[in-house]
Amino acid sequence: MKFTRPRQLVWQEIRRNPEAHQNAADIYLNLKKKGYKVSLATIYRTLNALVRTGLVRAEGLGEKHSHFEPEEPGEMHGHLICLGCGRVKEFDEPRLRKEIEAVGRRSGFRLEKFSLQVFGFCENCRRSRQEPTQ
Amino acid sequence: MKFTRPRQLVWQEIRRNPEAHQNAADIYLNLKKKGYKVSLATIYRTLNALVRTGLVRAEGLGEKHSHFEPEEPGEMHGHLICLGCGRVKEFDEPRLRKEIEAVGRRSGFRLEKFSLQVFGFCENCRRSRQEPTQ
DNA sequence: TTTAATGCAAACATTTTGCACCCTG
DNA sequence: CAGGGTGCAAAATGTTTGCATTAAA
């Protein structure tokens, strides 16, 4: 695998702000904004390669496109997604992770990875909807 | 909302075998096989309506299309997905559910729903790959 | 220099939509 | 019979691919 300029750029862009959960179009536009023109095709091909080599994770967050984040080895987090403002917050609950690993074990699965999306309304959005703070 | 023939058919088809996790095309083809011709457009419109009214859940299972299952009120299960044979198994771990609810609470979220996909290799597929049984 | 990577445009896969017509309530 | 539902075909969206060209190693 050649470490070409476009690949550097995509990789940098994903690491720049891991919590941004950028999709392919975001990456394309952000690079363009900085003056780098990398074609969408190359971005998709690079993302697939990075996912295949385990450097990047693709996540579905309730939309029809994928979002990408750096893969942190040994780390596994879930995503809290606000249905009001769309903001995504990561969380890691080791107890939860253990519980999920146990589910896999109990079912005879060799667990490879998991993906957890929690949808709801964040504090801000609940306030603006005049909901009582719980 | 009118309870028309096409809607009955889609709804029946989803309830017929909830564990099949059918996608729109599956439903289309299964109805066709039984002699009912309902257009894909109507199937999509019906699915959206059923999801909106809370009778049906749309689930992403690692493919680019959605899968549909009846929504069981008060019940929340995760999906074990085999990367070898593609089979999907449901599981419900009340402890896990509680844990996830706690995550939402701790983050100030009013939790609406969650979605958990666990990917791995099932017992069968591990055997055929000559993996030792754990 | 050889081999793999790129850009472009076309192809794909999935889902949505505009519109004329039809059926249910 | 009125208003929503349907089928069809076209559009929208997100992603992949074929092919001629370019650039890394």
Query: Which of chain A's residues 49-78 bind strand D, using a 7 Å CB cutoff?
Result: 63-66
Burial class (CB in 10 A: 0-12, 13-18, 19+), A120: buried
Q: Which residues, other chains included, contact A100 with Cβ-Cβ below 8 Å and sequence gap of 6+?
A: A111, A114, A116, B78, B96, B116, B118
Residue B1: pLDDT band (50, 70, 90) is confident
Within 13 Å and on the Cβ side, how many CA atoms surround B117?
21
Q: Residues B58-68: pLDDT tens digits? A: 999 999 999 99
- Nucleotide with C1' nearest the B47 CA: C15
Q: Which amino acid is at A48?
A: N
- Nucleotide with C1' nearest the A42 CA: C6
Q: Residues B88-130: pLDDT tens digits? A: 999 999 999 999 999 999 999 999 999 999 999 999 999 987 6
- Rounded to whole angstroms, the Cα distance separating A61 from A78 reads 10
B-chain residues within 8 Å CB-CB of A113?
A: 119-120
CB contact under 8 A, A115 and B111: no
pLDDT at B85 over 90: yes
pLDDT at B4 over 70: yes
Chain position carrying tokens 């059923």: B50
Provide the shortest C-alpha distance from residue B44 to chain A (in Å): 15
Q: What pLDDT, on a 0 to 100 scale, did the predictor assign at position A131?
A: 66
pLDDT at A106 over 70: yes
Within 13 Å and on the Cβ side, how many CA atoms surround A114?
27
Establish whether the CB of A8 is closer than 7 Å to any nucleic acid atom in strand D: no
